[in-house]
Structure 1
Amino acid sequence: MTPLLLTDIERAVRSSWSAETCTPEFRSRWTKDNPARDQCGVTAMVLNDLLGGELIRGEVHVDGERVDYHWWNRLGLGMEIDLTREQFGPQEIVTGGIVIARPPETEWRRLRQEYELLRDRVLEALNRQQATASSAVLVSRLA
């Protein structure tokens, strides 16, 4: 089996986003021009599934007032990964960042369907990438 690259994971996540995987109450503002919009919670959970680490939650402020939360990941040695930061406009400022314990799946009420859909799409994309990479290695060995 050919190991995956971090770029493979990022590509799989980004290609799996859609209106159906974003936060339901904000679905109407999701567009292909800003595909990361409102994908942070489910994306952070899927990356946590794949890479482990910690879930981080910050606050989104506009004109000094909190309007939402933002989620990303912290891996080993404190390295933080945020695949959805580009969703924000210049007026939206992400502040803080605290570790939030991952809740047991039995307690999930919000975003469960969106998370499961994104997770399944990402895993399918990664499996396709690995199969393609393994086939390419086999073909090159036979040539």
Structure 2
Amino acid sequence: MAVLTLTQLEQAVRAGWGVDTCAPEDVPDWHAGNPARGQCGVTALVVHDLLGGDLMCGEVRVDGVRTDHHWWNRLSGGLEVDLTREQFGPEEIVTAGAVVVRPPTINRLLDEYELLRSRVLAVLRDSAPDPGGPV
């Protein structure tokens, strides 16, 4: 089995983002110049599927008022991986995160999650070395 690097995973995730994988409340703010906008929840779930670890959640605050939640991952060795951090403007402050237990079923953003997951897996499958190829 091929080893998956964080760089490969990040490239696959970024290739999978689109307005159709964005959280519905963030669609008005999503654009090609900020493709990470609204992708944190589904991205964190896909990374969790592939690498395990913990799901992390913090609050997004503007002028001290909570406006949203932000999701990312903490791997088993303690490394925090946040592939969508750049979505926020300078006025949006993300608080420290807390570990959140993954629910047994995904009710919110299920279609967006499944679409992103299928795209990421396709990119990873297509970029895997040919096992019968040269050594």
Whether TM exceeds 0.5 here: the answer is yes
Q: Is 1:40–1:84's contact at 8 Å kept on the other side of the alignment?
A: yes
**1:44-59 aligned within 5 A:** 44-59=44-59
1:25-71 deviation digits (Å, cap 9, x = unpaired):
22121100000001000000000000000100000010111100000
Residues 74, 81 of structure 1: 8 Å contact kept: yes
Say which SS state the counterpart of residue 120 (structure 2) adopts: helix
Percent identity over paired residues: 57
CA distance in 2, matches of 1:82, 1:138: 34
What does residue 87 of structure 1 align with?
87
CA distance in 2, matches of 1:82, 1:44: 8
CA contact (8 A) 1:34 1:87 kept: yes
- Provide, for residues 84-126 of structure 1, a one-character-per-residue CA deviation record: whole Å limited to 9, x for no partner: 0010111100002111100012xx2210000000000000010
Q: TM-score, normalised by structure 1?
A: 0.89
Which residues of structure 1 form unaligned runs of 5+? none
Question: What SS does the corresponding residue of 2:69 show, helix, strand or coil?
Answer: strand
Q: Which secondary structure state, in structure 1, belongs to the residue aligned with residue 25 of structure 2?
A: helix
Asked whether the equivalents of residues 2 and 134 of structure 1 are also in contact (C-alpha less than 8 Å), the reply is no
Alignment match, 2:115: 117
How do 1:32-47 and structure 2 match up within 5 A?
A: 32-47=32-47
Counterpart-to-counterpart distance in 2, 1:85 and 1:2: 28
Look up the equivalent residue of 2:123 and give its one-letter code: A
- Structure 1 runs of 4+ with >4 Å offset: none
Partner of 1:134: 130
SS in structure 2 of the partner of residue 122 of structure 1? helix
- What code does the residue aligned with 2:133 have? L
Name the structure with the higher helix share: 1
CA RMSD of aligned residues (A): 1.4
Amino acid at match of 2:121: L
Matched residue, 1:24: 24
Q: For the Cα contact (< 8 Å) 1:60–1:94, is it kept in 2?
A: yes
Equivalent residues of 1:42, 1:114 under 8 A apart? yes
Helix, strand or coil: the match of 2:133? helix
